[in-house]
């Protein structure tokens, strides 16, 4: 079962650390316990039981109102069919682009809410505002900002490798940029830096990323500075493998 930690006021981090040949990496989901509970990211298909059991420690998975995916990729939404199937009143909330480019062309027949920048989902006490953040790191990418706890859900931005504690205060900005260069998930720095400016203006108290620990407001500026000052875009490597470029 995924590890469960309440990070702040009704926001639970469900985390599974995977060891790939000595390289440890975490997959987090965030459960918001509210009148209408929401699960942000589901994890991959094979993680479903471990994540569902962790959800069940906090709320009845059958009472989930929303499953949110922030871009169309397996660690975001591999478990969506079964989470939605087990919660009859639930809807999948995603970006308009995730729906138009991907979901609508798959054999998915669950309830979908496609959102654009500025839309808000009201969970009760928590209000989730959608930010469209294209090319960070997918075309359809978006993030969420919970106005109540001033929590940002940046998905793959502010990534940290390793078996991190639930809350990270350390400056791991350079390590983040080096990991991004190694795995090659960003085509270019510019769209990311544009989003970073926007995120900084939101002045979040928390950054709940999908990989690593949740960042406090003291830690976030370290990561922001690294993204402004260091290179992190694709440099010819995919998941650590240098590509043989044709002459």
* Binding region for Fe ion (CB under 5 A): 73, 75, 156, 210
For residues 27 and 43, the answer to whether their CB atoms sit within 8 Å is: yes
Query: CA-to-CA distance for 240 and 21, rounded, in angstroms?
Result: 13
For residues 25 and 17, the answer to whether their CB atoms sit within 8 Å is: yes
* Distance between first and last Cα of the chain: 48
Residue 122 CB: number of other CB atoms within 10 A?
A: 11
66 vs 153 by CB, closer to Fe ion? 153
Minimum separation from the CB atom of position 26 to Fe ion (A):
10
Minimum separation from the CB atom of position 92 to Fe ion (A):
17
Place of tokens 């290179």: 231
65 vs 164 by CB, closer to Fe ion? 164
Task: Kindly write down the DSSP assignment for every residue of 46-91, as one continuous string.
Answer: GGHHHHHHHHHHHS-GGG--EEE-SSSSHHHHTTHHHHHHT-TT-E
41 vs 115 by CB, closer to Fe ion? 41
12 vs 27 by CB, closer to Fe ion? 27
Query: CA-to-CA distance for 211 and 208, rounded, in angstroms?
Result: 9
94 vs 210 by CB, closer to Fe ion? 210
Minimum separation from the CB atom of position 192 to Fe ion (A):
13
């Amino acid at each position: 079962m995924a590890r469960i930690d309440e990070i702040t006021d009704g926001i639970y981090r469900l985390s599974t650390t995977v060891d790939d040949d000595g390289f440890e990496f975490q997959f987090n989901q965030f459960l918001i316990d509210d009148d209408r509970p929401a699960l942000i990211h589901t994890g991959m298909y094979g993680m479903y039981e471990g994540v569902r059991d962790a959800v069940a420690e906090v709320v009845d998975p059958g009472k989930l109102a929303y499953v949110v995916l922030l871009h169309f990729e397996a660690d975001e939404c591999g478990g969506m069919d079964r989470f939605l199937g087990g919660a009859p009143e639930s809807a999948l909330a995603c970006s308009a682009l995730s729906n138009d480019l991907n979901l609508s062309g798959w054999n998915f027949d669950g309830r979908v809410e496609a959102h654009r920048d500025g839309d808000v989902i009201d969970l009760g006490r928590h209000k989730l505002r959608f930010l469209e953040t294209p090319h960070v790191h997918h075309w359809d990418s978006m993030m969420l900002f919970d106005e109540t706890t001033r929590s940002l859900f940046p998905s793959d931005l502010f990534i940290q490798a390793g078996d991190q504690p639930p809350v990270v205060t350390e400056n791991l900005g350079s390590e983040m940029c080096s990991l991004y260069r190694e795995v090659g998930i960003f085509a270019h720095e510019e769209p990311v830096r544009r989003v970073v400016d926007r995120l900084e203006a939101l002045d979040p108290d928390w950054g709940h990323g999908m990989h690593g620990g949740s960042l406090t407001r003291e830690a976030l500026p370290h990561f922001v500075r690294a993204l402004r000052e260091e290179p992190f875009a694709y440099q010819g490597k995919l998941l650590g493998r240098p590509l043989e470029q044709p002459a």
